[in-house]
Structure 1
Amino acid sequence: AGFFGGISPIFMILQFPFPILSAIFVFLGIWVLYSEMMLMKGWIWPFFKKKTSSNVFGIIKPTGDVKFRIIFEGHTDSAKEMNIASYPPKLGKWIAIIGLYFLVHTIIFSLWKFILQIIGGPSIILYDSAIISWTIIDLIYFLSLIVIYPFFIWLLKGFLGKTVVLGANDNLAATAVALAIGKYLKQNRPKNVEIWIGSQGSEEVGDKGAGAFVEKYGEQGILDNSYTVVLECCGAAEAMAIIEKDMHRAIYDKEINSLLDEAYNAAKAENPDILKLKKVNLKIGACDACQYIH
C-alpha cells in the first residue's frame, strides 16, 4: 500500500491520459491495505519470507466419554514495536494527519489535471514534450509536495520497526491464563467435556497459526461440537472486555459470549472488586477468534 502511494506522483507530469494513474495507484494502495487488514485476503503474503512456527496444545480428558470440547488459547508470538510508538503523541498525530493527506492531495490533483487536460487544452500547459506535460497544476502540486511527501515517508517508517517486544501483555499473559484454567480443570475434570489448552503461533502475521489449527482440526470434525475461548491482552487493562465484532467483520458467537457474561456475573457476586466488564466492537483490532468464525 505504501509502495503504490509512494510512486503515485511519478505519473502526474506525464502526457494525457497518464496523470489519472496517480489517483488509480493511490486507490489501489488503499484497496491492498483494506483487503489485507480487514478482509484478510493474503494476496501479499508470497512477497514475504517464510519461516516455521508452531502451535502448542495439551488435552485434558474428561470423566466419561467425550461429548463436547472447549478450547482455551492465547498466542506465543509477539510483534515488532512500531517506530511511531516512540514518537511524542502530538508529533505522531501530525505525522499521521499530514502523511494521510498526501494521498487525498494526490487524488484531488490527479483528477483535476486529468479533467483540465480534457477541457482546458493548451491554456494550462507550461512545458510540453513527447512524454511530459508540465502544467500549472503540476507546479502547485509538486511545490506543496516538498512539505507533504516527507510526512508520508515518515508515516510509513513509523509503521516499521526492528525491536521485537517481549509480549508479556500481547499475548503471553493470556497464555498464562489459559494454563491456569488448564491446571484447575486438570484437578477438577468436567464430565464428558474435553478441554484443550494451548497457545497459537503466528498470530501477529495474519492469525496463521489459528488458521492452520482450524483447517487441520476442522477437517477432522473435532471443532464441530465445541466452544473456543480466545484470550487476548490479559496483562494490563482497566477493564475486561467481551468482543462482539472485530475489524475483520467477524461476529462473535452470542451463545459463548452469553456464557462468559454469566460466568463474570457469578465471579463478581463473590468478588465485587474485580475489573468491570464491557462489550466491545473493535474498529481496529482482532484476534485468533476470526479464524474460527470465518
Structure 2
Amino acid sequence: MKVSKEIRKNAVDYSMNAITDICTNIGPRESGMPKEREAQEWIKNQIDTNGWADESAIEDFKVSRHALVGFTKIIGVFLIIGALLQLLTLVGNPALTLAVRIISLVLAVLSIVIVVLEFLFYVPFIDKFLPETTSCNVYAKYKPTGDVKRRIIINGHTDSAYEWTLMKIRQEVMVGVLAVDLLCALASIVIFSINIAKGVTPLWSVIFAACTVVAYIGLFFVCNFKVLSPGANDNLTGVFVAVSALKCLKESGIRYENTEVCALLTGSEEAGLRGATAFTKRHKGENKDVETYIIAFDTMRDYDYMTIYHRDMTGMVKNSPEVVALLDEACNDPDVNHPLPHGVVPFGASDAAAFSRGGFKAAAVAGQNPKYAPYYHNRRDTPDQMIPETFALGLDIALAAIEAFDRDQK
C-alpha cells in the first residue's frame, strides 16, 4: 500500500509550517541548552498528541557544546603564545631559549593533535576540560503488527549551529584561513624541531614565527558563540522528514508485519555528532538482535545537489553499502524516479558517520551545494529560505526506502 499524493502534500505543508513555528516561537537551538530541549519536547508532543508513534522517549546525555568549533579559539591561543615566545630567544639566555623552544614546539604539536582528534575524527578530546550541559535525543517508534524482525530509523538533528563568521562570507574564505593556519602550524613544528636539534634559533625563524601571529588571528573569527543560525534548513528539514514519515504511515493506515519504523531526532549534532554517538552507546547491541538501518537526512534544501553520501567525516568514515543500495532502490522507485549521485562529505560530518562508526548500518542524504550555500551555518538560514520541492523529494525518498526495506525482507 502506497502513501497517497494528498497525504504526502499535507505532510510537506505541515512540515513547512511546523519549522516556521519553531524558528519563530522557539528560535535558534544551541546544543545542550534550553531552546534545544524546548524544541525536542515540542516535536515529541506533536508526535504523541497525533498518535504518529506507538511510543516515544527523550534520552538525555552530557555534552560540551563548545568543544567542536571552540577548538579554533583554543589552538589560536596556543599557537599565538608559542609564536610570540620565540621573541624571548633574542634575549640570549641559553636556559630560557631552550625552554622557549620546547614550549613553542609542544603548543604547536598539541594544536595539531586537537585539530586531528576534534575535527577530523570527532573524538571528544578537549570536552572533559570544558563545561558540560545536558542535551537530548527524541526516539519514536512505530511498531509492526507482529514481532520486530527489522528496524529502519529515519534521522535528523534538531540543534542549530553557531554562526561561522568566515563561512558567511564564502566557504572558500574559511577553508583558506584554516589551510593557511594549518600550514603555518606544521611549518612551525618543523622549524622548532630543527632549532632544538641544532641548538640555534636563527633570526629568520623568529621573524617567521612573529608573522604567523597575523594568520592565527583568523582562528578567532571562525565562529561566533553569541550568534546562532535559526537552523530552518540545517536541520529542521531533516527532522521533519523523519517526523513526516511516521505521520504519513499512520494517516495512510500502513503498518508493517515485522518492520519497525523509527524517527530519531538527535541533539548536539553541531557540537560534534554527540547525540548520534550517545545513541550508539545507549542502544549498543540492538542492531545485532534486530537488523537495523539508519538514514540520516540533513539540509533538504538545494534540489540539484541532493546526494547520497557513502563516505563521511571528510572522507574518513565509510558508510554502509547496504543502506546506500537501499537508497538507490528508493530513488528508482516509480513514485520517486529521481536517481541521486553518490558523494563524499568533503568538510565536516553528518550523524551517519557517528552511527557507522558506532557499529550501525547507516548512510546520509543531503541537499546542500558543497561549494557555496549562502544560508549555511549563519543567520540567513530562516524559514523563507526553505524549498518545499526539495523537502518533498527527501520525504518521498524516505517513504520509498521504508517500503523497500520492508519489501526486501520478504
Q: TM-score, normalised by structure 2?
A: 0.59
Verify the 8 A CA contact 1:102 1:149 in the aligned structure 2.
no
- Cα offset, 1:73, TM superposition: 1.2
Aligned match for 2:265, one of 177, 186, 199: 199
The corresponding residue for 1:254 is 321
Q: Tell me whether 1:169 sits opposite 2:233 in the alignment.
A: yes
- Cα offset, 1:58, TM superposition: 2.2
**How far apart, in 2, do the equivalents of 1:4 and 1:170 lie?**
32
Percent identity between matched residues is 29
The corresponding residue for 1:240 is 306
- Cα offset, 1:225, TM superposition: 2.4
The corresponding residue for 1:33 is 115
Q: Tell me whether 1:277 sits opposite 2:340 in the alignment.
A: yes
The corresponding residue for 1:149 is 213
**How far apart, in 1, do the equivalents of 2:145 and 2:332 lie?**
27
**How far apart, in 2, do the equivalents of 1:94 and 1:215 lie?**
36
Gaps of 5+ in 2: 1-74, 90-95, 359-410
SS at match of 1:54: strand
Aligned match for 2:181, one of 79, 99, 123: 99
Once the two structures are superposed, what CA deviation does each residue of 1:39-90 show, in whole Å capped at 9, x if it has no partner?
Answer: 3331211222222222123221222332221111101001101111234677
The corresponding residue for 1:127 is none
**How far apart, in 2, do the equivalents of 1:177 and 1:110 lie?**
52
CA distance change for structure 1 residues 271 and 260 in 2, over 3 Å: closer, same or farther?
closer
Aligned match for 2:138, one of 51, 56, 62: 56
- Cα offset, 1:264, TM superposition: 0.5
- Cα offset, 1:201, TM superposition: 0.9
**How far apart, in 1, do the equivalents of 2:246 and 2:174 lie?**
42
Aligned match for 1:4, one of 69, 75, 78: 78
Verify the 8 A CA contact 1:75 1:203 in the aligned structure 2.
yes
The corresponding residue for 1:109 is 191
**How far apart, in 2, do the equivalents of 1:85 and 1:235 lie?**
18
CA distance change for structure 1 residues 67 and 40 in 2, over 3 Å: closer, same or farther?
same
Once the two structures are superposed, what CA deviation does each residue of 1:107-130 show, in whole Å capped at 9, x if it has no partner?
Answer: 34323433442xxxxxx7xxxxxx
**How far apart, in 2, do the equivalents of 1:99 and 1:59 lie?**
46
SS at match of 1:258: helix
Aligned match for 2:349, one of 272, 281, 286: 286
- Cα offset, 1:200, TM superposition: 1.0
Between the two proteins, the alignment pairs up a number of residues equal to 272
SS at match of 1:209: helix
The corresponding residue for 1:158 is 222
- Cα offset, 1:192, TM superposition: 1.2
Gaps of 5+ in 1: 118-123, 125-134
**How far apart, in 2, do the equivalents of 1:184 and 1:93 lie?**
40
CA distance change for structure 1 residues 263 and 87 in 2, over 3 Å: closer, same or farther?
closer
Once the two structures are superposed, what CA deviation does each residue of 1:8-49 show, in whole Å capped at 9, x if it has no partner?
Answer: 225532423751442332122111210122333312112222
Q: Answer with 1 or 2: which has the greater Rg.
A: 1
SS at match of 2:207: helix
Quick check: 197-206 or 93-102, which moved more? Answer: 93-102
CA distance change for structure 1 residues 180 and 110 in 2, over 3 Å: closer, same or farther?
same
Letter in 2 for 1:255: E
Once the two structures are superposed, what CA deviation does each residue of 1:146-187 show, in whole Å capped at 9, x if it has no partner?
Answer: 543122112332244421101112110011111221122222
- Cα offset, 1:199, TM superposition: 0.9
Letter in 1 for 2:325: S
**How far apart, in 1, do the equivalents of 2:223 and 2:129 lie?**
18
